């Protein structure tokens, strides 16, 4: 039996084409970041089904760094959904502070308000933030101020019509989550902004 050999000279077609697959490295990069967010926000869900909604935005807020120097703080965000086969999905945002004028500083680590305020081992500008129930996320409250994903069939057996509607993520829920993220980022920048020549 003869084997057919094929060769493609990528350098002559498209020098910028990536031939290596980095999916496992990307997954390994984000997994502990997602876990840090769940731990910080007291929210738990499984990562068995962990998929992008393909909704991505860049949030840009312009502030004065000096009296005559406006600068933009840029935050890239992507909406994801995750949960186990037995769970209803939970929304979360992967975010990247593309620049971080006055936003991420060690001075907030003693009283952290966000996961990026917690002292960390790496200098990554990547974080995860999970919208609360009031921002459209399908979560059920446990004891001790902990939250988790609905357990699908088990929770839906005895659930009211309103509770069942909460379990599924709608287009409106996604819209609420985006509005919440945008307001959270704007408030974050507003509250932490420091002009250099005040």
pLDDT level of residue 100 (50, 70, 90 thresholds): confident
- 50-61 confidence digits (pLDDT tens): 999 999 999 999
Residue ranges per structural domain of the chain: 20-192
pLDDT level of residue 187 (50, 70, 90 thresholds): very high
Check residue 150 and give its pLDDT. 87
Q: What average pLDDT does the segment 26-41 reach?
A: 94
The dihedral of CA 44, 144, 130, 38: what is its sign? negative
Q: What average pLDDT does the segment 128-139 reach?
A: 94
Q: Are 33 and 130 in contact (CB under 8 A)?
A: no
Check residue 7 and give its pLDDT. 64
Radius of gyration of the chain (CA): 21
Lowest mean pLDDT among 7-11, 22-26, 40-44, 93-97: 7-11
pLDDT level of residue 145 (50, 70, 90 thresholds): confident
Task: Quickly tell me which residue has 């509607």 as its tokens.
Answer: 165
Rounded percentage of the chain residues whose pLDDT exceeds 70: 85
Check residue 107 and give its pLDDT. 84
For the entire predicted model, the pTM comes to 0.84
Check residue 182 and give its pLDDT. 97
Q: Are 85 and 49 in contact (CB under 8 A)?
A: yes
Lowest mean pLDDT among 13-22, 70-79, 114-123: 13-22
**Token representation of residue 173:** 């829920």
Q: What average pLDDT does the segment 58-66 reach?
A: 91
Euclidean distance between CA atoms 85 and 65, whole angstroms: 48
């Amino acid at each position: 039996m003869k084997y057919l050999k094929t060769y493609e000279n990528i350098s002559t077609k498209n020098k910028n084409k990536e031939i290596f697959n980095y999916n496992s490295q990307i997954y390994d990069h984000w997994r502990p970041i997602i876990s840090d967010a769940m731990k910080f926000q007291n929210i738990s869900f499984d990562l068995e089904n962990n998929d992008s909604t393909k909704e991505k935005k860049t949030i840009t807020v312009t502030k004065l760094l000096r009296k005559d120097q406006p600068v933009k703080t840029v935050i890239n965000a992507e909406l994801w959904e995750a949960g186990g086969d037995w769970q209803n999905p939970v929304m979360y945002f992967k975010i990247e502070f593309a620049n971080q004028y006055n936003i991420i500083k060690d001075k907030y680590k003693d009283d952290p308000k966000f996961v990026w305020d917690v002292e960390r081992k790496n200098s990554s500008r990547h974080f995860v933030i999970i919208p609360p129930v009031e921002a459209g996320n399908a979560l059920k409250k446990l004891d001790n101020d902990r939250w988790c994903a609905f357990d699908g069939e088990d929770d839906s057996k005895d659930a009211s019509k309103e509770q069942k509607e909460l379990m599924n993520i709608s287009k409106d829920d996604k819209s609420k989550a985006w509005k919440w993220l945008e307001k959270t980022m704007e408030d974050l920048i507003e509250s932490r902004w420091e002009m250099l020549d005040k």
